């Protein structure tokens, strides 16, 4: 297991290195060994899986051992064979041979038994209906049965779903962020551009150039706030705007219809995350590579507040009503409330460190989050999703991959679904895993040939209620759900991994929580470990790794 764990760490760092633009000779050599390391890891996993297990299936070791013992056991002797018929509950075991029962009597007893089965449950049910306030357990059981039936129906419908792929070609580097606006997709890339795409025709409509550094984040203000800004700029009230943040320390506001930048905000720090808060006059909330969270007025575009909130780069900011959630590279999460004031509008409600979230021991991590009520779903490059109850600090987790080689890069909610991306370091396979909300029960996984690692995700529904999703990473792809009544063949494989059915687990951090990304060569582990940490550079290393 020691060598397996070491290989997994090496592959994890290689996948991070591949995202960088400029590589040293040493880094290129490490990347060149990826196929060799994957092959060695597959051999070790095959050896450890055992002859009784299917390759890639992680089973219960005790059950497998018992199974092999049963298979190896000699056949029982005739004198040891159990009787052919079972002794029913309530009957006394007798050594004397049983007296044959007449067929008429057997039929009579069977009718009495069937009648008893029909009447007894009905009497209990009627009693509980008449005195429901005295039968909370019965009501709870009925509710659970209804939820299970709804989940079974939802799972069956997703197992039959079909998707068509549309590749949007135009970016010359990694796509770091995407957002959907009406029938348009807006994408930001490390190539410093923001592009606008028309999804029905899969064509590029606008190429918005103006940033001098890689684009890290995008946000779309609601229509009413766009209308307000359009009037102040003497533009059409139908104009839609998009916000972009970049490593060049600027937030730019783009008018999509005219394809121009109408406002630039200099933040003095590389912008690594942003969101729009639609409260009162509206606020732009930004996060920087140094851990700073800032608030900007949508009316005056002036800075309202600057807080050194995190120790490392802010990698995700999301809003939920007046609440703002920020997550950072060191694994911490802060929850803010917008008090809608012209000065210091954000008030810190809670801050949960990496010791609480369990995301510790990794330099240059990339945490993404998605809030829902009193919970916030967290992804941090591990084989599971974390659920943080942000008022109490309690945590639980959802299995997002059946092995520790899975890497979760992003998490998203849409239409009663929780969607987590997963990338298998061992074989390079990428999937989207779907869970039903609010129970977080596993539904299906979506994959397709040569699916890339998914770094960002956006979703919306069509007028007919079908899903359209867009994913970004090494390329930009739209997944369009096909009508169930159509005959067109889908491009996406829908499958279920039974190992993920028991997905929701109470928090009990395993050894996987302590994994680091150190690349340790067999001949000089300590030296490489120290050099890798020096290359990461500590604070803000996610920004340098992804965007330099």
107 pLDDT tier (thresholds 50, 70, 90) = low
Find the length of the chain: 548
Nearest alpha carbon to residue 455 among 480, 428, 430, 492: 430
pLDDT tens sequence across 228-240: 999 999 999 999 9
**Cα–Cα distance measured from residue 394 to residue 354, given in angstroms and rounded to the nearest whole number:** 13
How many Å apart are CA 128 and CA 136, to the nearest integer? Answer: 9
- Looking at the predicted structure, is the pLDDT value of residue 536 above 50? no
Cα distances (angstroms) measured from residue 492 to each of 216, 417, 453: 28, 18, 15
Q: What is the mean pLDDT of residues 337-355?
A: 93
Query: Quick check: pTM over 0.85?
Result: no
pLDDT more than 70, % of the chain? 73
Asked if pLDDT for residue 34 goes beyond 50, the answer is yes
pLDDT digits (tens, 9 = 90+) for 59-70: 344 444 434 443
Which residues have a Cβ under 8 Å from the Cβ of 339 and sit 6 or more positions away? 322, 345, 346, 347
Calculate mean pLDDT across residues 397-404.
89
Largest CA distance in the chain: 101
DSSP 499: G
Average pLDDT, integer, range 204-221: 95
**Pairwise CA distance, residues 115 & 119, whole Å:** 6
d(CA 20, CA 86): 68
Give the residue with greater pLDDT, 362 vs 294: 294
How far apart are the two ends of the chain, measured CA to CA in Å?
Answer: 35
Phi, then psi, of 59 in degrees rounded to 5: -110, 175
Classify 313 as helix, strand or coil: coil
User: Are the C-beta atoms of 52 and 65 separated by less than 8 Å?
Assistant: no
Sort 499 into a burial class: Cβ within 10 Å, 0-12 / 13-18 / 19+.
middle
Which tokens go with 31?
């990347």
DSSP string, 326-381: EEETTS-EEEEEE---SS--EEEEEEE-HHHH---S-TT---EEEEETTEEEEE-S
Q: Which residue, 44, 40, 69, 68, is CA-closest to 56?
A: 44
Token digits of residue 115: 């009648």
Give the mean model confidence (pLDDT) for residues 477-494: 89
Residue 24 pLDDT level (bands cut at 50, 70, 90): confident
**CA-closest candidate to residue 217, choices 333, 300, 318, 142:** 318
Determine the 3-state secondary structure of 406 from DSSP: strand
> 360 falls in which pLDDT band (50, 70, 90)?
confident
Phi then psi for 423, rounded to 5 degrees? -125, 125
Mean pLDDT taken over the chain: 80
Q: What's the confidence (pLDDT) of residue 7? A: 78
- In 211-227, which positions are buried (b, 16+ CB within 10 angstroms) versus exposed (e)? bebbbbbbbbbeeebbb
The alpha carbon torsion through 339, 340, 343, 344 (nearest 10 deg) reads 30
Task: Report CA torsion sign: 200, 203, 205, 210.
Answer: positive
Confidence grade of residue 1 (pLDDT, cut at 50, 70, 90): low
From the CB of residue 323, how many other CB atoms can be counted at a distance below 10 Å? Answer: 17
**Choice between 120 and 162, residue whose per-residue pLDDT is larger:** 162
Contact between 234 and 178 under an 8 Å Cβ cutoff? The reply is: no
pLDDT reported for residue 105: 55
Rounded CA-CA distance 237/258 in Å is 13
Please give the domain boundaries of the chain with CATH numbers for all domains.
2-48+519-547 (no CATH), 164-514 (2.130.10.10)
Distance CA 52, CA 63 (A): 11
Residue 71: its pLDDT value, please?
A: 42
The tens digit of pLDDT for each residue in 259-315 reads 999 999 999 999 999 999 999 899 999 999 999 999 999 999 999 999 999 999 999
Q: Is residue 168 within 8 Å of residue 478, measured between CB atoms?
A: yes
76: pLDDT strictly greater than 50: no
Q: At what angle do helices 2-17 and 25-32 cross, to 10 degrees?
A: 120
- Confidence at 110, pLDDT banded by 50, 70, 90: low
Q: How far apart are CA 90 and CA 102, in angstroms?
A: 21
Tally of helices (H runs) and strands (E runs) in the chain = 10, 31
Please state at what angle helix 2-17 crosses helix 34-49, rounded to 10 degrees: 150
């Amino acid at each position: 297991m020691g060598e397996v764990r070491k290989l997994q760490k090496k592959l994890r760092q290689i996948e991070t290195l591949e995202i960088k633009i400029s590589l040293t000779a040493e880094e290129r050599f490490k990347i060149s060994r990826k196929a060799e390391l994957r092959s060695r890891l597959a051999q070790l996993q095959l050896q450890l899986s055992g002859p009784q297990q299917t390759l890639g299936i992680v089973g219960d070791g005790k059950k497998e051992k018992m199974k092999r013992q049963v298979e190896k056991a000699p056949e029982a002797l005739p004198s040891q064979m159990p009787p052919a018929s079972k002794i029913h509950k309530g009957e006394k075991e007798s050594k004397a041979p049983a007296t044959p029962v007449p067929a008429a009597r057997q039929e009579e007893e069977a009718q009495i038994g069937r009648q008893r089965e029909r009447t007894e449950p009905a009497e209990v049910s009627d009693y509980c209906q008449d005195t429901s306030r005295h039968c909370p357990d019965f009501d709870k059981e009925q509710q659970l049965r209804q939820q299970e039936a709804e989940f079974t129906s939802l799972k069956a419908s997703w197992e039959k779903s079909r998707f068509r792929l549309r590749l949007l070609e135009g970016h010359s580097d990694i796509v770091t962020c995407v957002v959907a606006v009406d029938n348009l997709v807006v994408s930001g890339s490390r190539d410093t551009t923001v592009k606008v795409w028309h999804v029905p025709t899969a064509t590029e409509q606008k190429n918005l150039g103006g940033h001098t550094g890689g684009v890290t984040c995008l946000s779309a203000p609601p229509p009413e706030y766009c209308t307000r800004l359009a009037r102040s700029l003497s533009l059409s009230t139908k104009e839609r705007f998009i916000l972009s943040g970049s490593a060049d320390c600027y937030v730019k506001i783009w008018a999509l219809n005219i394809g121009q930048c109408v406002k630039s905000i200099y933040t003095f720090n590389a912008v690594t995350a942003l969101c729009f808060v639609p409260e009162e006059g509206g606020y732009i909330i930004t996060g920087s590579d140094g851990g700073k969270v800032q608030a900007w007025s949508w009316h005056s575009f002036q800075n309202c507040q600057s807080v050194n909130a995190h120790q490392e780069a802010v990698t995700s900011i999301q809003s939920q009503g007046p609440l703002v959630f920020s997550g950072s590279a060191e694994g911490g999460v802060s929850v803010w409330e917008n008090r809608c004031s012209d000065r210091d509008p954000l008030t810190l409600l809670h801050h949960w460190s990496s010791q609480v979230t369990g995301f510790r021991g990794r330099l240059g991590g990339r945490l993404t989050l998605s809030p829902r009520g009193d919970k916030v779903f967290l992804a941090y490059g591990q084989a599971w999703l974390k659920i943080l109850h942000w008022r109490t600090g309690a945590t639980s987790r959802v299995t997002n991959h059946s092995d520790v080689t899975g890497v979760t890069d992003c998490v998203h909610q849409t239409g009663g679904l929780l969607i987590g991306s997963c990338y298998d370091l061992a074989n390079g396979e990428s999937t989207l895993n779907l869970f039903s909300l609010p129970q977080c029960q596993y539904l299906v996984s979506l994959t397709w040939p040569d699916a890339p690692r998914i770094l960002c995700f956006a979703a919306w529904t069509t007028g007919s209620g079908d899903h359209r999703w867009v994913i970004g990473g090494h390329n930009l792809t739209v997944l369009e759900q096909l009508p169930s009544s159509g005959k067109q063949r889908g491009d996406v494989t829908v499958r279920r991994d039974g190992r993920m059915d028991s997905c929701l687990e109470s928090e009990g951090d395993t050894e996987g929580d302590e994994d680091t990304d150190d690349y340790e060569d067999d001949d000089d582990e300590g030296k490489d470990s120290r050099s890798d940490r020096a290359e990461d550079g500590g604070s803000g290393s996610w920004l340098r790794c992804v965007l330099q």
